[in-house]
A and B are shown apart, each in its own frame.
Chain A
Amino acid sequence: MAVKKIKILFAAFLLLIPSKSAFAEFSGWHGFLEGAFGGVVSQNDPAKHSNYNMAEERLQLKTQYNFQGENLLSRWQGVFRFKGDFTVDEYFAGRTDFELREANLSFTPAQLMDVKVGRQVLTWGTGDYLFINDVFPKDYVSFYMGRDDEYLKKPSDALKISLYPDLVNFDFIVIPLFTPNTMPDGNRLSFFDSFQGGISGNDPQRYLVEPGQEAKNFEYAGRLYRNFGSTEAAIYLFRGFDQIARSYKNEAARQLYYERQDVYGASLRGEFLGGIGNVEGAYLRSPEDPRGDNRLIENSSVRFMAGYEKDLGNDLRVGFQYYYEQMLEYAAYKRSLLPQDIAYDEYKHIITQRITKLFKNQTVKVSLFNFYSPSNNDGYLRFSVEYALTDQWKITSGVNIPWGAEDYTDFGQMKKNKNIFVRLRYGF
């Protein structure tokens, strides 16, 4: 709570700095004001409010400061960036909040080196709404509710060092404070609760235990990448924790936790058959259950995807992806299960399709994205229409339709959260 107060004070202090100051190094203040509403169209949504799942106002403010003068940070081309969201959430009786999305300093201390430290959004990898080597935190509640794509990514508190020698580029990231994914937990979006054995919107009284704040729990991520012509190749390494609490710390006490996870992956992306092709894969090792015989801890797995996107002309783009996931040590996993446990499949296949079309001098954007898993027999349709009325005003409306035969699969558990949303935004 104290931290939150400090953040609000900090933001208020920044507001006092004149936006059109005499110093050219200040970018001034930008951002937007947005109102958003999402009505639930599923029957019997068990969440807190059964007829809507989004009703909020948001003020985003961002600025940047370019250090100028004779000091070290100026010589290093230092830039400070700030971005924060003030929100009023009618879903929770008008609760106000401040979310610090970015507060970081980036600088170039040597010709072939960049450093970025502080709160920042981190992304790499080649997928479109599918992530294998992008192990950085995400907010799937925002995703299913129909907030802007920006909110699918959560910021991390991290140090990022990038090196650019001729042969290969190198990113090294240290994340001292673990940030988990924001997953549906029954408060706003109903989900499958393994403790209650079904889709739940009640306070499930689960405890998600995060790794302790100790040096041994620092997360490390690395990427080596380079181009071969215009084809981009990358190798990824990660030592840290699963971003989703999938393993059981103490079943009786309803404690889930984020098990240790190591990821070794690679990707390629480049021109292919008149479009853009990408392939990406990884081996995810579960060091706490390497033999896969502990039913409480997630097994190791391999994941792979291939994608293709093509521009068909007239501002029409289509894309397809195939995603494959295989649980390793599956026989040991099956043997370890108790009779009442749900037995998840060894294989998971997901196919996605995207169509994006722009109309009216690119002021109208119509987008359709589909996830479909033949193995889980579930899927998720996302459709939206975005209209930029002016350079300042933009209205976005869409639907989120997750569906599935079972209650416990990725998309199937979200099936009571189907919604229609509308967002109106004023940018400045």
Chain B
Amino acid sequence: MKKLTSMIAFLLAAGISYAYAQMSADQIAAKASHMAYYQGKDGRSYVKMVITDAQGRMRERQMTILRFNISDNGEQKYYVYFHRPSDVKGMSYIVWKHLGKDDDRWLYLPALDLVRRVAASDKRSSFAGTNFLYEDVSGRSVNLDNHELLSSDGDAYILKNTPKDADQVEFSYYKVWVDKKNFIPVKAEYYDKEGRLYRIVEATQVKDIQGYPTIVKMTARDLNSGSSTVADFTDVSYDIGINDSIFTERYLRNPPAQWIRG
């Protein structure tokens, strides 16, 4: 009996790993995108980013990010409230993330009581002056790239992602290491038009939060400028009941107090 159980277990395990081995590159990319950006119905985290330039000078950004999924691996809404540094404290930012067209973004400047519409066609620009790009924060649509499975040896799948429209981006391709256990993308390497590695984004710490494997520490390194940014995610929670109405002008002007403390 015992033999039979272990035999079944072995067969199952083999079957599962066989099935996984059969997962297409597209499926792996979609799963990784889900794990990095779409877990839970909504989420909140307090983010501290420390930017270090080539001379070792440090700058800091602190913010609360609220996220709301409209559909899995589809449209989302983000609310970002800046706590630090003091010259941006109190600013809030809303993104309606779309696939296949430009996001809608609004920025609120409390000193002027001004709600500005932000023209945002370039998702490959720096997020708040850090080494993270807008696409690192809110995700890059899996449909924008062709995915190719380079290797499934070891603990991670290695995907090569080549943009369908090369003119829209600064890289020629990027490689992503996806953890086989939980499908968290743990590392991404970006290669420029000459094929040189110039940018590395790495998840350096992953924690289980409410049953969701969650990246709680990340680094982005720009090899050309020598600067890097470390992001720490604390106070992470999922399924806290954020609703769609938060992502409007009302709450841009009055940050929702139950989730954000100015």
The answer to whether A362 touches B129, judged by C-beta atoms less than 8 angstroms apart, is yes
The answer to whether B254 touches A106, judged by C-beta atoms less than 8 angstroms apart, is yes
Which of B51, B85, B257 makes the CB contact (< 8 A) with A361? Answer: B51
The answer to whether A31 touches B86, judged by C-beta atoms less than 8 angstroms apart, is yes
The answer to whether A149 touches B121, judged by C-beta atoms less than 8 angstroms apart, is no
Count how many chain B residues have C-beta atoms less than 8 Å from C-beta atoms of the other chain.
Answer: 41
Q: A361 with B227: in contact, given A31-B86, A230-B96, A313-B122 (CB under 8 Å)?
A: yes
Chain A residues, CB < 8 A from B126: 315, 361-362
B104 on the A face (CB < 8 A): yes
Which of B51, B53, B113, B262 makes the CB contact (< 8 A) with A27? Answer: B262
The answer to whether B59 touches A390, judged by C-beta atoms less than 8 angstroms apart, is yes
Interface contact tally, CB-CB below 8 A: 108
Q: Which of B53, B128, B129 is the most central at the interface, judged by chain A CB atoms within 10 Å of its CB?
A: B129
The answer to whether B122 touches A121, judged by C-beta atoms less than 8 angstroms apart, is no
The answer to whether B53 touches A361, judged by C-beta atoms less than 8 angstroms apart, is yes
Give B252 Cβ to nearest chain A Cβ, in Å. Answer: 12
Which of A32, A108, A121, A312 makes the CB contact (< 8 A) with B86? Answer: A32
A410 on the B face (CB < 8 A): no
B interface SS class: loop
What is the size category of the interface that chain A forms with chain B?
35 or more
A275 vs B84: C-alpha distance in the bound complex, in angstroms? 29
Chain A residues, CB < 8 A from B4: none
Which residues A132-188 have CB closer than 8 A to chain B? Answer: 149-150, 152-153, 162, 164, 169
Q: Which of B51, B119, B227 is the most central at the interface, judged by chain A CB atoms within 10 Å of its CB?
A: B119
A227 vs B101: C-alpha distance in the bound complex, in angstroms? 18
Q: A391 with B112: in contact, given A169-B250, A230-B104 (CB under 8 Å)?
A: no
A30 and chain B: residue at smallest CB distance: B86
The answer to whether B121 touches A123, judged by C-beta atoms less than 8 angstroms apart, is no
Chain A residues, CB < 8 A from B101: 271
A269 on the B face (CB < 8 A): yes
Q: A66 with B262: in contact, given A32-B86, A106-B254, A162-B250 (CB under 8 Å)?
A: yes
The answer to whether B262 touches A363, judged by C-beta atoms less than 8 angstroms apart, is no
A21 on the B face (CB < 8 A): no
* Interface residues as binary, A212-255 with B (CB distance below 8 Å gives 1, 0 otherwise): 00000000000001010010100000000000000000000000
A-B contact pairs, 14 of them (CB 8 A): A27-B262, A114-B250, A123-B114, A153-B111, A275-B121, A276-B117, A276-B118, A309-B119, A312-B122, A315-B125, A315-B126, A361-B126, A394-B87, A427-B85
User: Which 8 residue pairs spanning A and B have beta carbons closest together?
Assistant: A362-B129, A391-B85, A313-B122, A123-B113, A150-B111, A311-B119, A230-B104, A427-B86
